[in-house]
Amino acid sequence: MQPGFRQLASRSLHYIQRRGYAAGSAQPQDGIKQGVAHSLLLKRTAEDALRNPELAHMSAIDGETRKMNLFQAVNDAMSIALATDDNAVVFGEDVSFGGVFRATTGLAEKFGKDRVFNTPLTEQGIAGFAIGMAAVGHTAIAEIQFADYIFPAFDQLVNEAAKYRYRSGNQFNVGGMTIRAPCSAVGHGGHYHSQSPEAFFAHCPGLKIVTPRSPIQAKGLLLASIRDRNPVIFFEPKNLYRAAVEEVPVADYELPLSKAEVLKRGKDVTIVGYGAQMYTLENAVQLAEKKMPGLSCELIDLRTIMPWDVDTVVESVNKTGRLVVAHEAPKSSGMGAEISSTIMERCFLRLEAPIQRVCGWDTPFPLIFEKFYMPNMIRCFDAIKNAVNY
């Protein structure tokens, strides 16, 4: 956990992304241009960005957009949070100079060193500190440098933050705290710069777990998380920081928590994922629909991992009769298991095939074997095929 190494990791991340690896293979396979750079999920015009019904409330004046990548959208959300709430502060390891992923760039200069500041290198301390600030009514936006390093704070998050309101009979709460942490694979992150620990936290009542797939989503969901009256862990897929670029509304807006989003309507099979996995699923759907003419897939971004939007997934599976769930985290006891068993309970009579889970293997996240570990396009495609051909 040496900061020097972490900075090195983020710098080489930048380098590799410019070469285009994180954005997907340069060679189109089966005629499909893979990766974030070619995604149709990203809104490349202002008109596209604002067509979103969740943003329909924004007036024409508010309708201005600006091209941002994901770290800029996160930065913009925090800037708005600080500007609209004098009790809000941003802190963590190396956030003062802008953060190792640039997410806090310019905030210390704009809002002052007492509102955007470095902490000593202690994750349990950062989480505890955030809880304390929130417990006396302030807004704490804390950063854990990599989701892989959130485990020293596990006790503070699970035993303290999650139970604060319940155990005090609602005399006290830490609703004002949000923990941001870069998560997921990055191409070369190895064991400790790649993990997706959402399922550890999804097993803990009292916490909300949120993860965005794009800059528009990141800004709206982060602002909603900061202002939500519950402790929220906000996982940011770090390979999207620079790779995902879209037109983002400049205004102050929020996107709803615990609400999944149907990205593509379909009738034959429901595909559920979240975070960076959405781009792999987008490609898998393209491949499946190309290889199996007439097939129509419904693609859903869960967005909030806990409490998750059961109804939207149930409604979809009741229509399609088939479900594929995919995530980078290991399979056993991952979110896929939770979604599968809930859907089995709720849609038993409608299911026409076993629910397919496409996940990371039950191994630590490996360095040189990343491409064999990942629930990539071909594995997701194969699962779709298995579901529809069953």
Q: Which of 155, 290, 354, 362 binds another protein (CB under 8 A)?
A: 155
Q: How far apart are CA 361 and CA 330, in angstroms?
A: 5
| Cβ-based nearer residue to another protein, 160 or 247 | 160
Rg (C-alpha) for the chain, rounded Å, is 20
Kindly state the number of chain residues that form the binding site for another protein, as judged by CB under 8 A. Answer: 48
Q: How far apart are CA 388 and CA 292, in angstroms?
A: 10
Identify any residues that bridge with 348 across adjacent strands, giving them in sequence order: none
Q: Which of 18, 229, 265, 291 binds another protein (CB under 8 A)?
A: 229
Q: How far apart are CA 65 and CA 50, in angstroms?
A: 9
Question: Given CA atoms 13, 261, 229, 333 in this order, what sign does their dihedral have?
Answer: negative
Q: State the distance between the two ends of the chain, measured CA to CA, in whole angstroms.
A: 46
Q: How far apart are CA 119 and CA 117, in angstroms?
A: 7
- Among residues 283, 361, 354, 369, the alpha carbon closest in space to that of 327 is found at 361
Q: Is 193 a catalytic residue?
A: yes
Check binding of 369 to another protein (CB under 8 A): no
Q: Smallest distance, Å, CB 139 to another protein?
A: 9
Tokens of 81: 């949070």
Q: Which of 63, 152, 256, 364 binds another protein (CB under 8 A)?
A: 152
Output the 3-class SS for 181-220: EEECCCCCCHHHCCCCCHHHHHCCCCCEEECCCCHHHHHH
Q: How far apart are CA 47 and CA 296, in angstroms?
A: 26
Q: Which of 98, 206, 266, 336 binds another protein (CB under 8 A)?
A: 206
Helix locations, the chain, DSSP H = 3-19, 46-50, 70-84, 107-111, 123-135, 154-155, 164-167, 198-202, 215-227, 277-291, 310-320, 335-347, 370-373, 377-389
Of residues 37-96, which lie at the interface with another protein (CB under 8 A)?
Answer: 87, 89
Check binding of 337 to another protein (CB under 8 A): no
Which of 193, 282, 327, 328 is the catalytic position?
Answer: 193
Q: Which of 33, 38, 66, 163 binds another protein (CB under 8 A)?
A: 163
Check binding of 35 to another protein (CB under 8 A): no
Q: Which of 5, 15, 97, 166 binds another protein (CB under 8 A)?
A: 166
| Cβ-based nearer residue to another protein, 341 or 363 | 341
Check binding of 127 to another protein (CB under 8 A): yes
Tokens of 220: 């709206």
Check binding of 173 to another protein (CB under 8 A): yes
Check binding of 133 to another protein (CB under 8 A): yes
| Cβ-based nearer residue to another protein, 63 or 256 | 256
Q: Which of 63, 125, 190, 366 binds another protein (CB under 8 A)?
A: 125
Check binding of 1 to another protein (CB under 8 A): no
The residue ranges that bind another protein (CB under 8 A) are 87, 89, 114, 117, 119-120, 122, 124-125, 127-138, 140, 152, 155-156, 159-160, 163-173, 175, 205-206, 208, 229-230, 258, 307, 310-311
Residues belonging to the active site: 123, 193
